[in-house]
Amino acid sequence: MTSQFTVSGLTKTYGSNVVVDQLDLTIEEGEFLVLLGPSGCGKTTTLRCLAGLETPQGGAIAFKDRPVFDSDARLNVPAHKRNIGMVFQSYALWPHMTVRNNIRYPLKVRKMKEAVAEGAVEAAADMVDCGQLLDRYPSQLSGGQQQRVAVARGLVARPDLVLFDEPLSNLDARLRDQVRTQIHQLHQKLGFTAVFVTHDQSEAFALGDRLAIMKAGKIEQYDAPEQVFENPVSDYVAAFIGMSNKLSLRRGHGGWETSAGDPIDLTHAVIRDSADQHTTAVARLRPDDVLLHARADEVPLGNVVLHAELVTYEYGGRYFDVTVETGGEQLILRVPAARHSAALRGSRPSAPLVVSFSPASLRVFPIPGDEPAAPEPVAVSAGGHA
């Protein structure tokens, strides 16, 4: 008896285009898994394979003890027999059905007459604050209301697995936060197993028990949110989860330095894949880990100091997002408005700035294709033998 949902070696191709590439995933029962990745990396296709809406070319999928797809065994359980709930980006409500009938639809398909009788439709509508809307048609609802009805429809039959495909991306910022919180609360209350697709890192961090970061049909990292946040396994993951600053590093005679020639001590940096054994590397850094200083003597002890020029700044309420240039590379800093407002408002582009960061906030990765540095040649005494 296993309580896991497993995907192994899943492969889906369209012609010569490999969209899902030998993908493995394990989802614990009750877990909220977020599949995070850029457009076109295969998130929707993976979800559709789980749902039974696409037929993969290879691999196997099992929902707990029940295989639902196995290419070797030629097994493919149709979508309506997989006991899943789905919530899409486009709300996909039936326009000719009332809210009540939309939410009831999965119960009808599954012939769950008892659930209807016991008021499951009303209960599901109440869960998402749509109890007052049951007799309306979708065209009479706002976008946020439609999506909440879609969530109720996805959950009403208490499916084994609920699949969400970017359900919040058509909502405006405020509604997105509201519906996100509602989904999170419902998951905590009902404990369903979920796979939630998004390309929004804040959504992923907010909702996920675990995050799977996808790249070109494969999972690049599969970890708890804190682990992904603190220890991204690659430059790709780091860039995707908000470490938007990239510094090119090279090894000079006196040690590592930035492309502007500022020295950088990597002793306390987090180094992946022996990046420090190479002659070049790339470091990633979060905007809020970079400090702005009025004077050089304000720099905390041990921080790396960069000599930079102001490019531009944008007011964000409690903070400014400041773009600076150093050694031909641009960095973005998120600095407290209260402390820096006056100085920034009085600065012109190209004004010199002192910025610094703790080396412990750096995540350092090798540059693909860059070979590790050859070991120093062993000194051989004149005329001696090796």
Ligand X SMILES: Nc1ncnc2c1ncn2[C@@H]1O[C@H](COP(=O)(O)OP(=O)(O)OP(=O)(O)O)[C@@H](O)[C@H]1O
Site track 5-34 with ligand X (rule: CB under 6 A), x = hit:
---------x----x---------------
Q: Considering only the stretches 42-50, 156-164, 221-229, 368-376, report the one whose residues sit in contact with ligand X under the rule CB under 6 A.
A: 42-50
Least separation in angstroms between residue 163's CB and ligand X is 12
**Helix then strand then coil, % of the chain, to nearest 5:** 30, 35, 35
* Cβ atoms of residues 47 and 195 within 8 Å: yes
Q: Is 199 in the site for ligand X (CB under 6 A)?
A: yes
Which listed residue (23, 41, 281, 344) binds ligand X by CB under 6 A?
Answer: 41
Q: Considering only the stretches 41-49, 79-87, 176-184, 347-355, report the one whose residues sit in contact with ligand X under the rule CB under 6 A.
A: 41-49
Mind giving me the DSSP string for 42-65? SHHHHHHHHHTSS--SEEEEEETT
**Residue (38 or 242) nearer to Mg ion, CB:** 38
H/E element holding 177?
helix 173-190
**Residue (42 or 287) nearer to ligand X, CB:** 42
Which among 79, 85, 78, 83 has a CA at the least distance from the CA of 102?
A: 85
Q: Considering only the stretches 36-44, 112-120, 272-280, 336-344, report the one whose residues sit in contact with Mg ion under the rule CB under 5 A.
A: 36-44
Q: Is 45 in the site for ligand X (CB under 6 A)?
A: yes
Which listed residue (40, 191, 261, 263) binds ligand X by CB under 6 A?
Answer: 40
Least separation in angstroms between residue 334's CB and ligand X is 26
Strand partners, 4: 28
Least separation in angstroms between residue 23's CB and ligand X is 11
Q: Which does 84 bind (CB under 5 to 8 A by kind): Mg ion, ligand X, none?
A: none
Least separation in angstroms between residue 38's CB and Mg ion is 10
Which listed residue (5, 32, 44, 212) binds Mg ion by CB under 5 A?
Answer: 44
Q: Is 381 in the site for ligand X (CB under 6 A)?
A: no
24: helix, strand or coil: strand
Distances (CA, A) of 300 to 18, 129, 233, 373: 49, 50, 28, 32
- DSSP strand pairing (32-36 vs 193-198): parallel
Strand partners, 285: 245
Amino acid identity at 386: A
Backbone angles phi, psi at 284, to 5 degrees: -115, 150
> Locate tokens 């499916």: which residue?
159
Q: Considering only the stretches 43-51, 62-70, 287-295, 303-311, report the one whose residues sit in contact with ligand X under the rule CB under 6 A.
A: 43-51
Tokens representing 257?
């330095």
**Residue (215 or 334) nearer to ligand X, CB:** 215
Tokens representing 275?
């990046």
Which among 138, 56, 38, 154 has a CA at the least distance from the CA of 105?
A: 154
Q: Considering only the stretches 40-48, 120-128, 320-328, 335-343, report the one whose residues sit in contact with Mg ion under the rule CB under 5 A.
A: 40-48
Which listed residue (44, 245, 258, 356) binds ligand X by CB under 6 A?
Answer: 44
**206/315 Cα distance (integer angstroms):** 25
The footprint of ligand X (CB under 6 A) covers 14, 19, 37, 39-45, 199
The footprint of Mg ion (CB under 5 A) covers 44
